[in-house]
Structure 1
């Protein structure tokens, strides 16, 4: 039987269901002096917000534009010229379950106080299709932010003042953010990624032409095996490139295994901040990476990408589009799984190293 709509829920028959609360209309972006963009995810997610930030900067020329970022994602902020500041927080709605933290009755109380002190005119909550904007919107409401924009399929009360209809699930993350802003009067200025490499980044670059190999990723399920990275590295070195294998201090073992037997390999472990990595990648002929922030960083500095894309996510939502790129994966029935550790045999990343070598040879800058 048909059930009555929840009071306040959008009318699905209206021209723009759920777009605005009654009588709200588009925000007056040109009059705003301080705007918060909420994206407390990883580095790659922050880099993919750059086209949205570019559009917002043009629509709100008087405003300071600030980013609410995770400790990991905040590393990208110095590369994004559209940002005036960053608020760093480990927000409750992005943390994995933890018994001790679960007992905290108000885990975001300090964040509410921080946001309230900054007197924002508006908050734009950006999410992937599987994330909900409602926890972030509720925090922003508690902080007294009067305009709160986000998109969602599910109803969440009045925490959002501008509830945008959900874009298609399979849309690219860049397009998703732009569609959210377009629905509230902020037109796109293009979907290309771009970041600024600081002049003092000073990454150590090898002499001659080189290819960057980054075997790390945020979780094991996204990582091609380091032994296959090494096999590909040997093939790339055999074609005349210096192979630079890089990773964080925590990825030292991965880097060592991925560089094993690669003639002339340069190992950079824990030596680069994100600006330094951007500088290194910008000088490379190509990069070979997992589905990680390194792929988006290369996309944003203009370096061709060969990406080993695990079945944890849908390729179309994250694939590089600004530069020449080849995304290598194997379709599996369990994809997209969004698992941190593969419970099977990583069939989605059963990619022969020769395919990577061939892709580098096709894409690498002349």
Structure 2
């Protein structure tokens, strides 16, 4: 291990993004706890990502902050707010900061704040050159298509911190499991039909038809999940499901949502946080995966999985809205249902088994 990192006791881990991104910090947090005895970990997250923190037992403390540089379209620069952030970081006297970003994000604003706060060790990766902001980073650029959890772990390995377990993991409380069981007392499929951007969203009514076809073939109920604002647009979807559907839109916090995923026979979702939670709890997951990203960047690594995507010349587009007609998600509900039946028919890999999922079609 790099000698500078071998003795750190108070570490800031920063991931200022969405719920799924925060869930994917689990292997980093776990590895730091396993290798650095007595280390105190503070996880710094966005307000939106903070919902995932109760699922990550390795974080000793949480710092929630809406960082200007993470806001879509750029936030409004407020010198007072930035000074407050630097002051908050300085007061906590961190020995080191681990700055987690995706391939398209820069760690330099965060590194600059940490530098001004007097944090001596700053670990991150950037495609840009800014001497003095980061003290440590990987010896060579991480490929753009690298899986996000692996990208995170590569930072630790760059300073010699060994990683013994690379899998996603979340902790589910007995209360969350009990609430999930009360909502869905019998066997069920889980349909999570909405995503944060339209370019990642398979048409919800078609997803509902696919789920209904699966329910008719398996005799299972369909738990429909989403946030409260999804209810306004769910009428046609719920009507398509009919009596097999159980409306849970807006009725769960993230912990209960994760427990519902853990209890499902199969999860049907887009490329969103449900994908990562299913991977963390090893529930089979069928993903209608749009062409916005490479499959390799976000695909499950341990849960049985199938990712469906039509090849398109615009892949990957990284767009929030598709300027065309979502040709990458041009699947019939019957095709989606058939993929789900085939996934359900696979032998269970058992705890700890590695499954990379089926290839895209």
Q: TM-score, with normalisation over the residues of structure 2?
A: 0.90
- Could you tell me which residue of structure 2 aligns to residue 41 of structure 1? 17
Q: In structure 2, do the counterparts of structure 1 residues 308 and 58 end up closer, same or farther at CA, with 3 Å as the change threshold?
A: same
1:52-71 equivalences under 5 Å are: 52-71=28-47
1:1-366 equivalences under 5 Å are: 26-97=2-73, 101-105=75-79, 107-164=81-138, 165-201=140-176, 202-203=179-180, 204-239=182-217, 240-262=219-241, 263-364=243-344
* 1:240-292 C-alpha deviation (Å, 9 max, x unpaired): 11001111001113443332221321001211110010111111001000100
Aligned-residue offset at 1:206: 2.3
Cα contact 1:216–1:290 (8 A) shared by 2: yes
Which whole-Å CA distance do the structure 2 matches of 1:110 and 1:327 have between them?
43
Which whole-Å CA distance do the structure 2 matches of 1:194 and 1:200 have between them?
18
CA RMSD of aligned residues (A): 1.7
Aligned-residue offset at 1:103: 5.0
Cα contact 1:41–1:72 (8 A) shared by 2: yes
Q: Which runs of 5+ in 2 are unaligned?
A: 349-361
* 1:61-105 C-alpha deviation (Å, 9 max, x unpaired): 21111111111111111011111111111111110226xx43534
SS at match of 1:266: strand
Which whole-Å CA distance do the structure 2 matches of 1:241 and 1:172 have between them?
33
Which whole-Å CA distance do the structure 2 matches of 1:106 and 1:335 have between them?
41
Q: Which runs of 5+ in 1 are unaligned?
A: 1-24
Which whole-Å CA distance do the structure 1 matches of 2:298 and 2:306 have between them?
12
Which whole-Å CA distance do the structure 1 matches of 2:37 and 2:25 have between them?
18
- Could you tell me which residue of structure 1 aligns to residue 355 of structure 2? none
Which whole-Å CA distance do the structure 2 matches of 1:70 and 1:255 have between them?
28
Aligned-residue offset at 1:107: 4.8
Aligned-residue offset at 1:304: 0.6
Cα contact 1:217–1:223 (8 A) shared by 2: yes
Cα contact 1:70–1:88 (8 A) shared by 2: yes
Aligned-residue offset at 1:205: 3.3
Cα contact 2:11–2:94 (8 A) shared by 1: yes
Q: In structure 2, do the counterparts of structure 1 residues 82 and 102 end up closer, same or farther at CA, with 3 Å as the change threshold?
A: same
Greater shift in the superposed pair: 271-280 or 47-56: 47-56
Which whole-Å CA distance do the structure 2 matches of 1:76 and 1:91 have between them?
18
Give the structure with the higher percent helix. 2
- Could you tell me which residue of structure 2 aligns to residue 20 of structure 1? none
Aligned-residue offset at 1:27: 4.5
